[in-house]
Chain A
Amino acid sequence: MSDWIDIGPLEAIAPRGARVVKTAFGCVAVFRTAKDEVYALDNACPHKQGPLAEGIVHGAKVTCPLHNWVFDLETGHAQGADEGQVATYPARVEEGRVLLDVEFLNNRTAA
């Protein structure tokens, strides 16, 4: 059974926005879409390590602020002509709180 950690209230993240969670193995970007879904991805574009948390969120996608690579938030796959993938981690909302799977930290260590 997974163990979820509460990282903060949903309203701390703007709709179509993101916030960063610091971990011992780098930052994770936690996104909130217009529909209040949340997604957690590595906060580094595979192209030039752009901070994805600062990108523009549209639908369930984000555009990297450095060179406009577009990633699907669900799978982490780059869209269109670009090739690459960002690691994704389980995230969900329960009673207005954003939860991340504690396992993800361990997976990040292993990676």
Chain B
Amino acid sequence: MVKKLVVIGAGMASGRALEELFAKDPEGWDVTLFNAEPRGNYNRIMLSPVLSGEKTFDEIVTHTAEWYEENGVTCRFGEKVVAIDKEAKTVTAENGDVLAYDKLLMGMGSNPFIIPLPGHDLDGVIAYRDLEDTNAMIALGDKPEAKAVVIGGGLLGLEAAAGLALRGVDVTVVHIMGHLMERQLDEAAGYLLRKALTDKGIKVMCSANSKEIVGEDGKVKALMLDDGTELPCDLLVMAVGIRPNVALGQAAELAVGKGIRVDDQMVTSDENILAVGECVEHNGAIFGLVAPLYDQAKVVASTLAGEEAAFVQKEVSTKLKVTGCDLFSAGDFADGETREDIVFRDPARGVYKRLVIEENKVIGAVMYGDTADSNWFFGMIKDGTDISDMRETLIFGPAYQGGEPLDPMAAVAALPDDAEICGCNGVCKGDIVAAIKDGANDLGAIRATTKASASCGTCTGLVEQVLGATLGDDFVIPTEQPMCGCTDLTHEDVRRLIKSQELKSMPAVWQELGWKTTCGCHVCRPALNFYLLADWPLEYADDPQSRFINERKHANIQKDGTYSVVPRMWGGMTTPDELRAIADAADKYNVPTVHVTGGQRIDLLGVKGEDLPAIWADLNKAGMVSGHAYAKGLRTVKTCVGRDHCRFGTQDSTGLGIQLEKKLWGSWTPHKVKLAVSGCPRNCAEATCKDIGVVCVDSGYQLGVAGAAGMDVKETERLADLTTEDEVLEYATAFMQLYRENAKYLDRPYKWVAKVGLDWVKEQVEDEATRKALVERFEISQSVYRKDPWAEHAETKAETYAPIANLVQEAAE
């Protein structure tokens, strides 16, 4: 007897289930197929090629009108099912028809998740789910100078953005997480993907929070972010995820969790109702990729045909359907003790591959740029292949066994000819290579012919590597200490390349310079964080998690885990009110030790970490700000009282000290920087052993730099003799910026000046145009960093200083 099967939803899963069923049992079923969309089954995942124009809709239709007719399927497209009666075994259609079934198959798929932002219901706000959405995006391409914003940097959002860009639309992707496709990719691959999309003209904003959709006359006009940025757009696509469509299942009182619950046979809590596809939940999991849906469809067909079958969840892999972005991700790629990474980076080709190995098996793989071997690796993940015999060469893929070890010079060899190696003299890699070919075969000859590394000398390591890469075995590179175990490059090399290759994020540095670890270590991360924020103050956002605790918490950690608090006293000047506020704070927070520092400040020692925001707020109220006694940055400007009080004073040393401190405070530097201004050559402020020291004389000001009074003791060297306070401010600022831009992390100025030579420093600072440019760049940086971190933390981050939870009570109970 022919049985009645009603199918709700003509999607990819139910379509495949019908195909499988008709193959098993062509005559056994009388099928009625409902679909809310006014069309039959099509390959939904191919909507992206339709959007980009690489395919037409007809090409992605999987079942034609003829196919339905041949198989005797009654099609009710454009019609919804509004109710299911489990007891009577009937469904009710939108128009009131009641149809009886022997078996019911639910395949309603999923609904796109719409973030309930203000304005989400405006005209022009769409999801990316069906042909209507796709057509709306295609139509936008016909409009001149059209703009679109896509919220969501996952698979679907990026395919929408790439399609829109191909249609000539100006697209911005807004993604809430720190890197794109964070569920499938690690940071490094996310960086490469972002770079490729940017090259296609797509703007990408990560760590961006949407606040509100702005409309005009009921139509979308712009997206507003929580930092106040407004992104104008004619169309806003939300591609932030999907939710299983469970409404009908809930109404019919089937067991429903995140999706409609099914057993291994794809049967719901009612024995006559099956479910398949994105609307189901199986063993707690829901499904969005196509491979498991097809497996489910097979099981549905078998169950209906009365055969034994069980759905088993398998590993799934992801590929992005954007032309020119080859990426692959499969399995589990989280870090872990028992896990080991094999990382391969080829900066020249933009390739990144990472395999995660556990117990001699590949358990996860992420690849970008070259995914040719992805199926081989995916097979190993699924099969649990033992890889111990091929571990050394595994990452090179099936075709490459017994490969040569990686070349430590690969990063430099990969640089293009126009990459600037020597910043002082503007010498590119190509110039050096040309000089080598003309016979310059050592460092001296290169310096003589091209001037590369002949000025400050910090690019010497890079020049040597170019020599090595060009001459091969004929040149032996002197061994310099690499930055850390994560790289073979020195600090100087990395600094130079961050500038010349315009690397503006940590993942960019790790990828382009071939880092050997996934996310650096405690040695390189603080250095990279400084180099990036010093070179790209506006583009790079400071990363507190890459800072040593003192700079992260804006206080000095003591050996017992408490902190010290030092408020700023401009130029070493204070007032009775400030002193009273400090005394009150010391009482209120039970500060055990109060100490006067060598830099003319008061240090409150022994403050508990969780009290920091409160004590800062109290000091803020009295007008005081952070003294940065914890910073690799400007510390203190020490002064004597100068001509206001002293009978020997020649100039206003305190006034100048205060001006210097107000200009320089808040800036980050490679190591700490201490200043002093003495009012006469008797030098009571000890200015001649500071990083920057001013000694006032009758005729003006003697500006000295590169002094030391720590592990080494060294007198300052004279940078300039100046006549006005403004000149002192300008020269000191220029020196500070030169140091910030060029020195190795953790080199004090005296060490750096010893390396580059005082003559070179003088040349830079004495040249008016160079000096003014340095000051200008310093001011740009200060527009971000000249602010009180205490006030900011006390206001916005106070809770992070407290324990996340206190279980002392619970334990007592």
Kindly supply a per-residue 1/0 record for chain A positions 47-72, scoring 1 wherever the CB is within 8 Å of any chain B CB and 0 otherwise.
01111001111111001011010101
Residues in B whose Cβ lies below 8 Å from that of A48: 559
Q: Which of A11-55 contact B (CB under 8 A)?
A: 12-17, 19-25, 27, 30, 33-35, 37, 48-51, 54-55
Residues in B whose Cβ lies below 8 Å from that of A20: 803-804
The answer to whether B807 and A12 touch across the interface, beta carbons within 8 angstroms, is: no
**With A24-B812, A33-B335 in contact, is A7–B805 under 8 Å at CB?**
yes
Kindly supply a per-residue 1/0 record for chain B positions 775-813, scoring 1 wherever the CB is within 8 Å of any chain A CB and 0 otherwise.
000000000000000000000000110011111101110
Asked if B334 CB lies within 8 Å of chain A CBs, one says yes
**With A35-B335, A65-B557 in contact, is A55–B803 under 8 Å at CB?**
no
The answer to whether A58 and B521 touch across the interface, beta carbons within 8 angstroms, is: yes
Binding-face segment, B371-379, B512-520, B531-539: B512-520
The answer to whether B522 and A68 touch across the interface, beta carbons within 8 angstroms, is: yes
CB nearest to A59 among chain B residues: B335
**With A33-B335, A37-B336, A72-B337 in contact, is A21–B522 under 8 Å at CB?**
no
Residues in A whose Cβ lies below 8 Å from that of B811: 23-25, 105, 109
Q: Which of B540-578 contact A (CB under 8 A)?
A: 544-549, 552-553, 557, 559-561
The answer to whether B525 and A35 touch across the interface, beta carbons within 8 angstroms, is: no
The answer to whether A23 and B549 touch across the interface, beta carbons within 8 angstroms, is: no
Cα of A15 to Cα of B552 in the assembled complex, Å: 14
Residues in B whose Cβ lies below 8 Å from that of A37: 334-336
Asked if B526 CB lies within 8 Å of chain A CBs, one says yes
Asked if B338 CB lies within 8 Å of chain A CBs, one says yes
**With A58-B520, A66-B559 in contact, is A17–B812 under 8 Å at CB?**
no
**With A34-B187, A56-B525, A59-B517 in contact, is A13–B804 under 8 Å at CB?**
yes
Residues in A whose Cβ lies below 8 Å from that of B803: 19-22, 27
The answer to whether B519 and A56 touch across the interface, beta carbons within 8 angstroms, is: no
Cα of A5 to Cα of B335 in the assembled complex, Å: 24
The answer to whether B807 and A105 touch across the interface, beta carbons within 8 angstroms, is: yes
Residues in B whose Cβ lies below 8 Å from that of A51: 557, 561, 609
The answer to whether A56 and B807 touch across the interface, beta carbons within 8 angstroms, is: no
B366 to chain A: closest CB distance in Å? 11
Residues in A whose Cβ lies below 8 Å from that of B186: 35
The answer to whether B521 and A30 touch across the interface, beta carbons within 8 angstroms, is: no
The answer to whether B804 and A30 touch across the interface, beta carbons within 8 angstroms, is: yes
The answer to whether A22 and B805 touch across the interface, beta carbons within 8 angstroms, is: yes
Residues in B whose Cβ lies below 8 Å from that of A98: 804
B396 to chain A: closest CB distance in Å? 23
Asked if B178 CB lies within 8 Å of chain A CBs, one says yes
Kindly supply a per-residue 1/0 record for chain A positions 81-105, scoring 1 wherever the CB is within 8 Å of any chain B CB and 0 otherwise.
0000000000000000010000001
The answer to whether B559 and A57 touch across the interface, beta carbons within 8 angstroms, is: no
Select which of B526, B808, B810 is within 8 A of A56 by beta carbon: B526
Cα of A16 to Cα of B436 in the assembled complex, Å: 45
The answer to whether B804 and A19 touch across the interface, beta carbons within 8 angstroms, is: yes
Cα of A58 to Cα of B528 in the assembled complex, Å: 14
Cα of A5 to Cα of B810 in the assembled complex, Å: 10
Residues in B whose Cβ lies below 8 Å from that of A68: 522
Residues in A whose Cβ lies below 8 Å from that of B525: 56, 58
**With A14-B545, A51-B561 in contact, is A59–B518 under 8 Å at CB?**
yes
Cα of A22 to Cα of B804 in the assembled complex, Å: 8
Q: Which of B324-378 contact A (CB under 8 A)?
A: 333-338
Cα of A55 to Cα of B544 in the assembled complex, Å: 11
What 10 A-B pairs come out closest when comparing CB atoms?
A: A74-B337, A63-B522, A19-B804, A7-B805, A24-B811, A16-B545, A60-B335, A54-B549, A56-B522, A65-B549
Pairs across A and B, CB under 8 Å, 13 listed = A7-B805, A12-B804, A14-B800, A15-B178, A24-B807, A33-B335, A37-B334, A54-B553, A57-B545, A63-B522, A65-B548, A65-B549, A72-B337
16 new A-B contacts, CB < 8 A, other than A7-B804, A48-B559, are A7-B807, A12-B799, A16-B545, A19-B800, A21-B803, A24-B811, A34-B187, A34-B518, A34-B519, A54-B553, A54-B557, A56-B525, A60-B335, A63-B521, A65-B549, A66-B557
- B residues sitting closer than 8 Å to A (CB atoms) are 178, 186-187, 333-338, 517-522, 525-526, 544-549, 552-553, 557, 559-561, 609, 799-800, 803-808, 810-812
